[in-house]
Amino acid sequence: MPEIGRPRVGILISGRGSNMVALIAAMRDGRVPAEPAIVISNVPDAAGLATVRESGIETAIVDHTAIKPREAHERAVLDVLKRQRVDIVCLAGYMRRLSPLMVEAFRGRVLNIHPALLPSFPGLDAQEAALHYGVKVTGCTVHLVDEQVDHGPIILQATVPVEDDDTVLTLSARILEQEHALYPKALALVADGRIEIVGRRVLVRI
Ligand code: GRF
């Protein structure tokens, strides 16, 4: 984290980018004490890229289909993050598993949002899995990223009830609303240096 000034945030996306929009809005209106430095997409035509270009924030495309093997692609992402002097990385619908290279370079400073209450329903299609399992409460989780998928220490969680008439679409929309509120709150804690990691527990300093 920088000694002086606000931490610089790099946001990694692969698609729609609605969490990216929520994070940028919160940094811009002062709810999160950090600067949006760059948005990187591994998918050249990700919808989120068009959205962010309108906001004047730097963007980069690091296409995983063009840069192989996996390590080379990740090194290219890392280079962009370093060039942009990024302090904190937020994964926002980034559909790539991070290698130990990235996790090690940004240990404790990579955040991810997952649309379920981890450790339940990790991986893809978490909302559908929760609905089919029949849980009555699900939600979303912001966690620090470690070497395993959807696994690192949990910063914040929000719950969402499952209604009898829910479909994957209605449930996902209700969870997404909570994601957009939760992710900025978690980023604010990290940017403010207010979290302490004790084993798997993330303690929040008042
Ligand atoms: C969100 O549901 C997030 O929890 C998951 O991927 C989705 C990304 O949506 N990791 P968006 O691109 O932020 O709109």
pLDDT at 185 over 90: yes
Task: Name the residues annotated as catalytic.
Answer: 114
Q: Give the distance (Å) from ligand 1 centre to CA of residue 3.
A: 31
The protein residue whose alpha carbon is closest to atom 8 in ligand 1 is 93
- Indicate if ligand 1 lies below 6 Å from the C-beta of 139: no
pLDDT tens-place string over residues 90-139: 999 999 999 999 999 999 999 999 999 999 999 999 999 999 999 999 99
- Indicate if ligand 1 lies below 6 Å from the C-beta of 143: no
The rounded percent of the chain whose pLDDT value lies above 70 is 100
Among 66, 54, 32, smallest CA distance to 192 is for: 32
**Ligand 1 site-directed mutation target among 11, 18, 43, most atoms within 8 Å of CB:** 18
Mean pLDDT of 4-27: 96
- Indicate if ligand 1 lies below 6 Å from the C-beta of 11: no
pLDDT tens-place string over residues 75-104: 999 999 999 999 999 999 999 999 999 999
Distance CA 14, CA 4 (A): 31
- Indicate if ligand 1 lies below 6 Å from the C-beta of 18: yes
Angle of helix 126-133 relative to helix 168-191, nearest 10 degrees, comes to 120
pLDDT confidence of residue 3:
67
Q: Who's near 72: CB < 8 A, 6+ residues apart?
A: none
Q: Please, what is the Cα angle at 66 between 64 and 68, to 5 degrees?
A: 70
> Could you identify the residue written with the tokens 């990700």?
46
Q: Give the distance (Å) from ligand 1 centre to CA of residue 45.
A: 16
Threshold 0.95, pTM exceeds: yes
